[in-house]
Structure 1
Amino acid sequence: MRTICFYFQVHQPFRLKPYRFFDIGEDHDYYDTFSNKSIMRKVAEKCYLPMNSLLLELVEKYAGKFKVSFSISGTALDQFEAYAPEVLESFQKLVKTGHVELMNETYTHSLCGLKSKEEFIRLITKHQERIKELFDGYSPKVFRNTELIYSDEIGATVAQLGYKAILTEGAKHVLGWKSPNFVYLNAIEPKLKVLLKNFRLSDDIAFRFSNRSWADWPMTTEKFVTWINQIPQEEETLNLFMDYETFGEHQWAESGIFEFMRHLPDTVLNHSNFTFSTPSEVVENIPPVGKIHVPIPISWADEERDLTAWLGNDLQDEAFDRLYELEELVKSSEDPEIQRDWEYLQTSDHFYYMCTKFFADGDIHTYFSPYENPYEAFINYMNVLSDFILRLKSTAVKKPKTVKK
């Protein structure tokens, strides 16, 4: 069996509005409703609605021979409900076909797996319940952590929660001479299988597709299938993982990205020995070749494939540490708005905006950031966090002190 596993990340953060020092203690509404709504509507029209329609057409046309998978963050689901309910309905139609798999993740696309195992489990459980609520009792069997962040320890926790597989990056510094086109096992809990992104072929679609200076532009389905046919026969799974916004948002419709996807299933099925599978089907049908050891966390971001997109400078580390210092106090609060804000403030994007990388990766960070520079992102976030701390301290339930006898 040789198969292609398509996975798409669907995520939108709740962006913070400009929040001044003088707003602290006065204004408890942190979110830029206008930007969040307008961006959601724009991406819905350019990506989510047309691409979901195309995928539904392809799934039905090929009678289940074409399959894809998604992880949809809780913050994206919340914004679908608020600003684009037709998008949510289109995802529900896809899942009902039985040929589209949903994966679980942390509810707010959080970095908590790096800081708090308890919070990590809580947000995973919350997202699982949300998926069940919105998708007719659907229960994900595969896990995708925020930005494909993975380590042996994170995988072990995910295995303990009953998931049978996890997705991550096929990072060169982890794989060495090995290929990402196999199924691997978690080094601590071997019952958890690990699927690795083939970053070269994934990025050909996600980043290079419309780049006219790329030596292989323009990319056609025939050219792409020629490349996958060159993969050694013993390598059984080609994992193509990317942001869903690749289609129509990062790569505009004018680039031909939709037509590329429209014709890809036919070219693959008729001119290669590859099929299409969901992650669950891959790990059910392809035996693992051995353990993959990842003692230090990796991600799918930037050239380094590490955590420096979110935790690579003093600004990010300060904001991250200050946020998670509040965990115990948040648990003692019974205020639902405190709980909501605590979760939304954990979203990884807030820390991504504070990244001070430059050159090629810096261009990518600038593209996604609503701020003029990383320092503005840090100041705005810390002003919001300062107000949140004041509210938290005023609402937290004070536990009685235990008197020692």
Structure 2
Amino acid sequence: MKTICFYFQIHQPFRLKRYRFFDIGNDHYYYDDFANDDIITRIAQRSYLPANATLLEMIKNANGKFKVAFSISGVALEQLEVCVPEFIDSMKELVKTDCVEFLSETYAHSLASLCDPEEFKMQVRQHDEKIEQLFGVKPKVFRNTELIFSDDIASMIASMGFKGVITEGAKHILGWKSPNYLYSSAAAPKLKMLLKNYKMSDDISFRFSNYEWSDYPLTAEKFISWVKNYPEEEPIVNLFMNYETLGELQPRESGIFEFMKALPRFAEQEGVGFCTPTEAISKLKPVDMLSVPYPMSWADEARDTSAWLGNTLQNEAFRKLYSVAERVRLCDDRRLKQDWYYLQASDHFYYMCTKYLSDGAVHSHYSPYDSPYEAFTNYMNVLSDFIVRVEAQYPESIENEELNALLTTIRNQSAEIEMLQKELKSARIERHSKRAEAKKAKEAKAAESSKKVVSKKD
């Protein structure tokens, strides 16, 4: 039976205000509150809220046969909680259906997996705690920022206990193979890989309302027939896209919501089902191992990381940001740590991308800046002030050896605390067990005494 696995990404960064060179050292607040509030509220009204209502209707009409997964960054959740709290409520309604799964990712939607394993793991833990706090569920499958994945990242994901990962079905990795199978990582064989079918995904995300597309108009019946026509032995079609596709990138007037509502009906007619990522990795068996020696992503024809780290500007900003990572992790200043997360969002580096200057459509749609150079200048001004604040707590005069020694002490203390917590837990279990045994023995003794009294009366 053919199965469709839908996953939607929700992420909005905290956009920076215009920050001048002369603001460095004088102004420590970096964000454009009006733009951030306006953008997330507008997108939620046009896309997130009506899309949630549509999916809930689809699940109910399909009697729970339609299923979907979400990956929502921590910084997006923070904005939605404040600006669009009704979105959180509507998402909780979806969770109650048991047809919705949440994926794990980095809290800040960051590129930490490419340079800082410790930061990467910390953000994943914080993200999953946020999801569990809001929705009462714990993510089991991982999706990295921008679908970035490599053998090194696979090892980190597996070490955190995840059984599956969602990533791109890149041609240079697959070769002649199809993305419509379950694979496993060559670097971590127990980690199963769900690969995006980017052609089918892009048919909805980018081509749905394109009058010049040879397959326009795209109907639910036509789309399901394409899924059905894949070779019988290919069990799954993974459709991964931004949630803004529904209502924003493809406006309501295009018929996108009606298209979605019709999918379950035509899928049932053709014997096509739906599943969550966890269901997919538990039911399907990997057909092969894939090695990804260099990081890949969803972006561009190259499917690499050059959209974020492809020029000198981006690499300089990236290097400077993570040069203070250890110092930030040492501090306990909540405001500083909050800024640290917000400044790591991959969007800031995407705005500096020069690849799109010849074709500004994609670049201008997402960037609030007039040029990549303006994005770089503004970000570096903010970063310079941020680093001044970090060094005020942990100056550059602290030698690396001294800093490393301090970090080693902290890590040793953390390990010791963790060991003591395990011992305490073990002691509590043992005490509980002994109490239970004592209670059982007491009850047995009481029963025996009762029997003796009865026998004497007889």
Query: Where on the TM-score scale, by shorter chain, does this alignment land: which range?
Result: over 0.9
Whole-Å separation in 1 of the counterparts to 2:254 and 2:358: 22
Query: For 1:209, what is the secondary structure of its paired residue?
Result: coil
Question: Could you tell me which of 270, 277, 280 is aligned with 1:279?
Answer: 277
Whole-Å separation in 2 of the counterparts to 1:396 and 1:93: 46
Cα contact 1:183–1:283 (8 A) shared by 2? yes
Whole-Å separation in 1 of the counterparts to 2:369 and 2:82: 24
Query: For 1:310, what is the secondary structure of its paired residue?
Result: helix
Q: Does 1:261 align with 2:260?
A: yes
Cα contact 1:356–1:362 (8 A) shared by 2? no
Q: Deviations over 1:102-145 (max 9, x none)?
A: 00100010000001000000000000111111112x11100000
Q: Does 1:127 align with 2:135?
A: no
Whole-Å separation in 2 of the counterparts to 1:338 and 1:359: 34
Q: How does 1:220-239 map to 2 (within 5 A)?
A: 220-239=219-238
Structure 1 residue aligned with 2:456: none
Residue 361 of structure 1: CA displacement?
6.0
Deviation beyond 6 Å, 4+ runs, structure 1: 397-400
Q: How does 1:236-247 map to 2 (within 5 A)?
A: 236-247=235-246
Cα contact 2:10–2:73 (8 A) shared by 1? yes
Structure 1 residue aligned with 2:183: 184
Residue 362 of structure 1: CA displacement?
4.2
TM-score, normalising length: structure 1: 0.97
Q: Does 1:342 align with 2:349?
A: no
Whole-Å separation in 1 of the counterparts to 2:57 and 2:220: 18
Q: Deviations over 1:143-179 (max 9, x none)?
A: 0000100011111111111111000000111111000
Whole-Å separation in 1 of the counterparts to 2:84 and 2:393: 33
Whole-Å separation in 2 of the counterparts to 1:279 and 1:226: 22
Whole-Å separation in 1 of the counterparts to 2:317 and 2:201: 32
1:362–1:193 Cα change, 3 Å? farther
Identity value in percent: 56
Whole-Å separation in 2 of the counterparts to 1:175 and 1:104: 24
Cα contact 1:335–1:395 (8 A) shared by 2? no
Residue 217 of structure 1: CA displacement?
0.7
Structure 2 residue aligned with 1:98: 98
Query: For 1:36, what is the secondary structure of its paired residue?
Result: helix
Task: Specify the code of the residue in structure 2 equivalent to 1:241.
Answer: F
Query: For 2:70, what is the secondary structure of its paired residue?
Result: strand
Residue 399 of structure 1: CA displacement?
7.3
Structure 1 residue aligned with 2:443: none
Q: Deviations over 1:53-75 (max 9, x none)?
A: 01011111112100000000001
Query: For 1:15, what is the secondary structure of its paired residue?
Result: coil
Query: Cα RMSD (Å) of the superposition?
Result: 1.4
Query: For 2:95, what is the secondary structure of its paired residue?
Result: helix
Whole-Å separation in 2 of the counterparts to 1:361 and 1:4: 33
Q: Which has the higher helix share?
A: 2
Number of aligned residue pairs: 400
Structure 2 residue aligned with 1:295: 293
Unaligned 5+ segments in structure 1 are none
Residue 229 of structure 1: CA displacement?
1.7
Structure 2 residue aligned with 1:200: 199
Structure 1 residue aligned with 2:47: 47
1:340–1:116 Cα change, 3 Å? same
TM-score, normalising length: structure 2: 0.85
Cα contact 1:334–1:396 (8 A) shared by 2? no
Residue 332 of structure 1: CA displacement?
2.2
Whole-Å separation in 1 of the counterparts to 2:133 and 2:226: 41
Whole-Å separation in 1 of the counterparts to 2:366 and 2:290: 32
Residue 359 of structure 1: CA displacement?
6.4
Whole-Å separation in 1 of the counterparts to 2:125 and 2:360: 34
Whole-Å separation in 2 of the counterparts to 1:343 and 1:358: 26
Task: Specify the code of the residue in structure 2 equivalent to 1:231.
Answer: Y
Query: For 2:285, what is the secondary structure of its paired residue?
Result: coil
Question: Is the radius of gyration larger for structure 1 or structure 2?
Answer: 2
Whole-Å separation in 1 of the counterparts to 2:330 and 2:157: 26
Structure 2 residue aligned with 1:326: 324
Whole-Å separation in 2 of the counterparts to 1:361 and 1:236: 37
Whole-Å separation in 1 of the counterparts to 2:215 and 2:93: 36
For structure 1, which segment, 185-194 or 361-370, has the greater mean C-alpha deviation from structure 2 after superposition? 361-370
Q: Does 1:141 align with 2:140?
A: yes
Residue 280 of structure 1: CA displacement?
0.4
Q: Does 1:112 align with 2:123?
A: no
1:361–1:189 Cα change, 3 Å? farther
Q: Does 1:26 align with 2:29?
A: no
Cα contact 2:356–2:362 (8 A) shared by 1? no
Unaligned 5+ segments in structure 2 are 406-458
